[in-house]
Amino acid sequence: MGIIRSSFSFISGTVFGIYIAQNYNVPNIKKVVNEALFSAKKVEEKYRKPKKPGDDAV
């Protein structure tokens, strides 16, 4: 009885997630994160301070 009681929320969450994924248009999280990182990298490169000629980053 203890294992069913302790894993009820995990099992119900899994079933609910499967239902949502099958019946609604859920975005691909990996793709969204990769696009966000790519755009953040572009913004960082655009606004980065230029390196000084005598500045050696070691």
Q: Map out the domains of the chain as residue ranges.
A: 2-47
Q: Which one is predicted more confidently, 14 or 28?
A: 14
- pLDDT at residue 55 in the model: 67
**pLDDT, average across residues 4-8:** 86
The arithmetic mean of pLDDT across residues 18-44, rounded, is 93
Q: Decide which of 56 and 5 is more confident.
A: 5
Q: Quote the CA–CA distance of 56 and 58 in Å, as a whole number.
A: 6
pLDDT at 57: 58
31 pLDDT tier (thresholds 50, 70, 90): very high
